[in-house]
Structure 1
């Protein structure tokens, strides 16, 4: 079992606990590039950056941040997390990521999603009522141009007709494209039927709760004749690392509560976070990965085995943490967590032979 471990981030810019002030967007972006370069140095497999259009996140154009990182790294895979297809032109998405692939051949990926926030609909003039239909049509178009250099597209309600026009640059190999979901059965079925790798945002509840969805994904893929060996199943979950477990637990509560409480004011199905709820999330059966390297590595192993994952992204950090602390957490993850998890699965595979 070849497992891959990465990091995901949204470039958060919320107030820091020690100062009560938020880092500026431009500084967060500069720091983020440095963090990706460090992750590459320590052999972390992938770095994925999300797209948002609001004050508490610095990255509205992940492809530009990824391009900066692509020119400064050697082996790490770079991906969006996600590219919010309903409110963006799929041709421009493909052109941008194909251009990055010229700088970092074979290391560029697109994680397509609908977006968990809705600000971009008003910003770019889209109707939220078309949320799902926009995504489906634009995803189909993106996949079509990824497959063929010359695009023949019939057009639709939300995309123009393209009559035998080349899309350039066009990499020699198709770009890896995965579908991201918060846990929707409909999205799970869609990804499976289309033969797309899937990425679950597992940020609440118990890890076991996602097992039926992954079982559904595999069953639909098999029923529709897809090759599951080419369809990695991934998860991204919140987490934090320190040399000292209790220190990590203490440090991570403030930013986590800050973000959850802020989102709770916008979403009727969310509630503010109490310390007891936080402790449930970081417990052995929770889905937040907080502690020292041993704690986090063991929990990642448990989730990957429980759900049958082949990829895992540690979302680092959630809300804002000091840049120097993030760099230290990346070092611990790359030096200690990633090798331990990979050794576990390699040893397990060798025992089968």
Structure 2
């Protein structure tokens, strides 16, 4: 019996599947592989069109958009019923709403900028599959809905006293909290589990495998906390960053844009700069990272530095990043070596 798989295109009568799509997992013949790629390109163009539409809306005049916001209309209607008694409270509420909306839009612009950068990189490298489309669509829908009406904001119109006649409730989350880091792409024998917060090496043999963060970082300071859940013999892992424009590698620490630390035994402690291995001693790094350690990585884009803080040892290490070698945006990069080794984002 032949082990050859037929082309997944229902219109293909005789084609043999030779190329598999990593997104939908279907196998196509050469002709229909090209057609499938064209279908993906058309789907991407639809996403880009929606992206550009939202960008135009974000670039509209802030003052006019905020002053005509539906929440302010609610306040105006309430004020007209209560006359002079509520005028002072209404004015205070307007000011608070406007400030919250300004802060909310600022956060949305930051999230949108991150998405814009990722779309540009993925489009240029043609590195995308159907699951990426689902994630991008969901993010565009979220931003679009937040522009119209922030989910964390509501107005309580309770006539209690002149000092508390209208209450503005806001649960504003910072951009870094609302879009917390998650694992995304992998290279090698790593699988991502538990809502993309756990990365596990599943290879049968000891060999490098890498996992990358979803978020892109170009400005501000960002804290990423993780736990070393499993680390055989406390021997090896890499924690750091690469430029988002760099290609994926199993041994990510050799990437020319890689900066970070090798978590290992004290006899082989390494600091990586531009993908080059350096003795950690000259950088004040002792390599003391073990199973169950909780670590905090700080990506300070404004200062062009990355920090590593080990809660167990209470030690902090810093690396200065050459942005000509590792241009923005950055992304989190982790490499595991032994089967069963695992890292969790917390």
Provide TM-score, normalisation by structure 1.
0.20
Q: Which has the higher helix share?
A: 1
Greater relative contact order structure (CA < 8 Å, 6+ sep): 1
Q: Which has the higher strand share?
A: 2
Provide TM-score, normalisation by structure 2.
0.20
